[in-house]
Amino acid sequence: MLNSTTDEVVVMEATEQPAIFSHVDEASCEAYYFWLRLVFGGFVMIIGLIANILTIMIMRGKTKTTTMLALTYLAIADFSVLIIYGAINLIPAIADKVSSQIGAYKVKLFIASCILQLSQSSNLVSVYITVIVIWQRYVGVCLPTKAKTYVSMRIVKVQVVCVVIGAVLLYLPSFCMNCFFPEKMHFDLRSTAIHA
């Protein structure tokens, strides 16, 4: 603490805690980190991947309607979201267990600078494909006489391509800046890399 009248540093006394308390606290944090991030996060990721693979396999042969086509694209987008977020969740935790502290920090910094932009882009694609599915259902239910005008297989494909291109273009500048010029990376991302 800085004393404003004499400009000298005053050392504040800290209460001493027994060493066993800090060890127990650290052990509980490690257990929480392991069970929540590795075990539970990995389990949710695997269940989601299996569900999306089954959805893609079932709908692959049944893309007779525009809604089925949009739902197939949504399953593919959700699959990519699960892969990317699973990597963000599992790789730093594994790097902490396997690698040295400096190696784990480099892995986390790479994820914070490069992979987070990909995850945001794929998440945006998934959200907007959900909007396309909602539009398909709205037109089918509320405007059935104009469904041929507003909805077709070609229109769904064009909408999905536009969504993917838009999401990539939206996050491309921050991806290039953070991945290729990490020294200019925003402080929040560096902080995220350290604490991930």
- Say whether 9 sits in a helix, a strand or coil: strand
When pLDDT is averaged across residues 11-23 and rounded to a whole number, the result is 48
Question: What is the predicted pLDDT for the residue at 63?
Answer: 63
52, part of any domain: yes
144, part of any domain: yes
4, part of any domain: no
Residue 4 has pLDDT above 80, yes or no: no
Question: What is the predicted pLDDT for the residue at 101?
Answer: 79
Task: Give the tens place of pLDDT for each residue, 25-60.
Answer: 677 777 777 788 788 888 988 999 999 999 888 887
29, part of any domain: no
6, part of any domain: no
127, part of any domain: yes
134, part of any domain: yes
Domain that holds residue 163: 45-195
158, part of any domain: yes
Please give the tally of structural domains in the chain: 1
d(CA 82, CA 78): 6
Question: What is the predicted pLDDT for the residue at 186?
Answer: 58
- 175, 118 in Cβ contact below 8 A? yes
Task: Give the tens place of pLDDT for each residue, 104-161.
Answer: 888 887 887 788 888 899 999 999 999 999 998 898 889 888 888 888 889 999 999 9
Please list, in sequence order, all residues whose beta carbon lies within 8 angstroms of the beta carbon of residue 71, skipping any fewer than 6 positions away. Answer: 55, 59, 133
d(CA 91, CA 97): 10
Encode burial over 104-142: b for 16+ CB neighbours within 10 A, e otherwise: bbebbbebbbebbbbbbbbbbbbebbeebbebbeebeee
> How would residue 100 be classed by pLDDT, with cut points 50, 70 and 90?
confident
When pLDDT is averaged across residues 170-180 and rounded to a whole number, the result is 84
